[in-house]
Structures are given as structure tokens and as C-alpha cells.
Amino acid sequence: MQANLPHLQSIFTADCVIFGFEEGELKVLLIERNEYPFKGWWGLPGFFVEHNETIDDAVERILYEHTGLRDIYMEQLYTFGDLQRHPQGRVITVAYYAMLRLEGLTSLKPGTDYVRQAVWHPLNKLPDLAFDHHNIIEKSISKIRKKISYSPIAFELLPEKFTLTQLQQLYEAIWDKKLDKRNFRKKMLNYNILKELDEKQRGVAFRAAKFYRFDKRKYAKVFGNELNFS
Amino acid sequence: MQANLPHLQSIFTADCVIFGFEEGELKVLLIERNEYPFKGWWGLPGFFVEHNETIDDAVERILYEHTGLRDIYMEQLYTFGDLQRHPQGRVITVAYYAMLRLEGLTSLKPGTDYVRQAVWHPLNKLPDLAFDHHNIIEKSISKIRKKISYSPIAFELLPEKFTLTQLQQLYEAIWDKKLDKRNFRKKMLNYNILKELDEKQRGVAFRAAKFYRFDKRKYAKVFGNELNFS
DNA sequence: GATGTTAGTGTAAAAAATACACCCTATATT
DNA sequence: AATATAGGGTGTATTTTTTACACTAACATC
């Protein structure tokens, strides 16, 4: 594709799909590539896995180098190994995903020349992407939809303190579907994994909403075991 | 570990976790290795992925070479890349799993010298296994437990025609838990994905049970969409 | 025809899910 | 000060789903 392609450093890489939620919208973290192939394109943070590091370590390192984000718990999504996914030959990539609270994470500083900038993009208006990254993002979304059905990963995407409306909007964004306010609240509160705080919203031009916090201990009790059949 | 280790042909492999169900018991397909490392040990069918084949193709080829099994739909489970999982250095392995009807699959013929024999082993008395294969099997089981909660993959593990009791025993084996017969039947029949056949068991020393068949079309309608929230 | 073994069935009670509409309250506007 | 605006917050009746629970039916064998 381009003259001065770098040598392949290994035949497998790790990619990160980082989701964030802000203003009722799901976003994904993309980087602008500063290196061939796909120089100048947007893509997922991702790079070669070194020979002496585990994949888990690699993906953490790569995310940090590309975006400055640290200590993000990522889960493995899928491994992609199509023959044409990389223009320089078959490169297998292990994709990981994570969900983040988007408060205060607006300015991201890449720590490598391979990346020009890292920017949150709304999921419903993504640019063209390098490699098969569109495909990887698709797969992540469908995994998240399933997962949120039986485990409240949603909390990862919200600030520490959140209102029930924010929580509901998040579910609505992930499922792309309106939910009933009263039923949603009833169900959520019945799980008993939310802790009501004394605090309220401030400076809003309408009745202020109560803040809630997610109770990790209770969560483990409720969702630690499998779904029930009988 | 051993003198004449073969050269590493690539740094990643694909492993197969094949589950079968027979006589109320879950089984997994293991091979006896005829090659270092772990010559003489039991392990999962697995081998190197060639440079010009997709992982999906590789895993299908490997399963065939190791066991003679063909046209088995396998799903990707997880990619394992710990530094110590292979004695010759870091080898990344992509594990796939599948579930099979165990009728008539008793005699398996390996087609490669790497494998001495392929044998079904009951899940609850596995021998010591090569590499991290115990770990891989563990992870497969927990995936199956989750998956069966929201999609009836159980049918893959039963013969074409099965009785409701067989179906129930399968669920009980996967969940390691007794279920109520009446409730189980009611629920299963209510899904409307079973077709009652005219046929009955024959030659059994007690009241013969009706056979059922799994209706794929109806299944897609019922389980095609996600779990519901509101 | 007695025995043993699994197949097959119903109902009442409890729990969960759903559909649905109005008043509350903090600010902004006039 | 009165009013408008916009989201916050709540209850109930109905339906659906889940659960707990025990006996008779059918068939082969002795």
C-alpha cells in the first residue's frame, strides 16, 4: 500500500475497544494513526504483543501508550485472524473491551509517535476505520448488549454518583430502546445494589434528582451466581 | 523437558474443547499425545495454525486430523497467552468449543502420528492434562453454563430424537443441580421449540417415553432476540 | 398377576413484569 | 410576583411467570 512500511514485529496484536457514556450517548475511543499502514486513518488503539508479555499485560500497556489511560479493567472479546485483515499479511489480533465513566477523561495524551491523537467518537457517527476495526466494534456492542442483560456492567459507564435517569438513559442507549420510567426504577431498586445518597443535583433548572451509588458488595451477592432455571 | 523437541512451527495454536453427552454424563474429547512436549499425556486436540489459513479453518482441520471428526460447528471461546503455558516459550492458543450428539461417534480415528488415540472422557474424572488444558476446559464449562441459560444449546448435545427426561438430565448435568420434572416440562414445552413425534422408545423395561425433535425455525424466533428488560 | 421402574400430569400460591398518568420542584422568563 | 418549563418522582391493578408439590399410567419382567 505504501512504500515505507515498518517491519512486522510479531504476527499478533491486541486492540482495545473502550466505551464511554456522556450526554446520553455511547462513545468509543479512537486514535488517529500516525504510522503506515492506514497512516492518517482512525482506528482502535492497538499494537503488537511483545514476546515476553502476556496478552493481558500487552493490552494494558498499549492502551496506556496510545491514550494515557491506565488501570482500566478490560475483558477479552474475541480473536480475529482473517487472512486479509492486515495489508502486510496475516496478523492475528486479540480484541479487548472495557466500559468507562467519561467524567474528566476528555483530554487524552498519547505517549507514542505512532498515534497523533485519541478522541471519543459517538457510536452512531464513526469515521471510516483502519483494518477490520468496524467489525470489531460491532462485535463488542453486541457482546455488551447481551452482557448487560444479566450483569450490571452499566455502572462502569457512569460517574461514581449518578441519577436513576442517567442510568436509564444508558440502558436505553445500549439497547437503542425506550424504557418505562416507573418500571425501570422499581426493578433497579429491587435489585438492592444501589445506595441512595443524601446528595442531590445542583444548579439544574428543574427539580434536582437524587444521586445513587453502586454497591459492589451487594452486587456480587446478587449477580455472582448464574441465572436460574428452576 | 525432553531432548528431541520439534521446532516451533508458529507461535500460535488452536485447541478444541468438544463436549458430548451420554448416559446422563457430560464428556469431553481428549487425545493421547504422541509427540513432545507432553508425549504420552492426555490433552485437547490442538495444533499450530498455519500462516495461510484462518483460525476458523485451522481449528476445523486440526480437529479432523486429530479425531476424524468433520463438519463440527465450533465457537471461539477464549485466547490464552500466559508466558508459561508452553514449555518451549510463549505460545498463544485460541480455544474453540463445540457440543456434539454422542450417538455413533464412539470410534474415532486420528489421521496423524501426533496423536495415538482420541477418547471421550467423563468431565468429572479427567486425567492430568498437558499444558493449561485443564484451565481451558474449566473456562469452557462455565461459558456453557451461562450460555444454556439464555439459549438452548443443549440440543446440540442430544440425538435428533430425544425424550424430555434426556433433555432434563442434560440440563442437570450442565448445571450440576436437580430440576423439578413438572416445571421443567412445562417450561420447555411452553417455549414451543419442541416437536412431539409419534414415535416412542422401544425395548425399554418400563413405560416408553415419547420422542421429541428440536424445531430450529421456531427456535430462531424465540431466542433470536436478546433478553428482555422492559 | 404382582412387581419394579420410569412416564406423565395439574393446581394453588407467590413473585415478577407490565401498562399506565399525574403532581412535585427548582430555575428561568415575563 | 406570577407563570412557564423541564425533568423528578411516585402507586396500583392486571397479567405472566415461577415455584412447590404427589399421585396415577404404562410397560417389561418375573
Confidence of residue B9 (pLDDT cuts 50, 70, 90): low
Do residues B123 and B179 both lie within one domain? no
Cβ of B84 < 7 Å from strand D? no
Judged on CB neighbours under 10 Å (0-12, 13-18, 19+), B3 is exposed
CATH of the domain at A144: 3.90.79.10
User: Nearest nucleotide, C1' to the C-alpha of B181?
Assistant: C8
Q: A152: cis peptide before it, omega within 30°?
A: no
In A, which residues are within 8 Å of B11 by CB distance? 10-12, 51
pLDDT tens string A25-71: 899 999 999 988 999 999 999 999 998 899 999 999 999 999 999 88
CB contact under 8 A, A149 and B229: yes
- Tell me, in Å, how far CA of A182 is from C1' of D13? 15
Count of domains for chain A: 2
Cβ of A202 < 7 Å from strand C? yes
What percent of chain B clears pLDDT 70, i.e. is strictly above it?
A: 89
Q: Is residue A193 part of a domain?
A: yes
Confidence of residue B226 (pLDDT cuts 50, 70, 90): very low
Cβ of A225 < 7 Å from strand D? no
CB contact at 8 A, A50 and A20: no
CB contact under 8 A, B83 and A54: yes
Q: What's phi and psi for B161, nearest 5 deg?
A: -105, 130
Maximal C-alpha separation, chain B: 62
Do residues B41 and B133 both lie within one domain? yes
CATH of the domain at A210: 1.10.10.10
pLDDT score, position A22: 85
**Residue in chain A nearest B145 by alpha carbon:** A226
A to B CB pairs, distance under 8 Å: 91
CB contact under 8 A, A150 and B149: yes
A178 SS3 class? coil
Q: Is residue B113 part of a domain?
A: yes
pLDDT tens string A164-192: 999 999 999 988 889 999 999 999 998 88
Q: Which of A139-153, B19-33, B143-157 has the highest mean pLDDT?
A: B19-33
A49 SS3 class? coil
Do residues A36 and A95 both lie within one domain? yes
Ranges of H-type helices in chain A: 55-67, 133-150, 164-175, 181-191, 216-223
pLDDT tens string B179-205: 999 999 999 998 888 999 999 998 888
Q: Is residue A58 part of a domain?
A: yes
Q: Which of A52, A92, A184 sits opposite B12 (nearest CB)?
A: A92
Q: Is residue B230 part of a domain?
A: no
Mean pLDDT over A90-106 rounds to 86
Cβ of B185 < 7 Å from strand C? yes
Cell of B110: 486420528
Contacting residues for A213 by C-beta, under 8 A, at least 6 apart? A160, A161, A194, A195, A197
pLDDT tens string A100-157: 888 766 678 888 889 999 999 999 889 999 999 999 999 999 888 888 877 777 888 8
Q: Is residue A60 part of a domain?
A: yes
Cell of A99: 466500559
A25 membership: H or E segment, kind and range: strand A25-33
Domain residues for the domain of A176 are: 161-223
Cβ of A229 < 7 Å from strand D? yes
CB-side neighbour CA atoms (13 Å) of A162:
24
Do residues B174 and B143 both lie within one domain? no
Cell of A32: 488517529
Q: Which of B53, B81, B89 sits opposite A55 (nearest CB)?
A: B81
Above 60 in pLDDT, residue B79?
Answer: yes
Q: Is residue A6 part of a domain?
A: no
pLDDT tens string B98-141: 988 887 666 788 888 899 999 999 998 899 999 999 999 999 99
Q: Is residue A228 part of a domain?
A: no
Above 70 in pLDDT, residue B6?
Answer: no
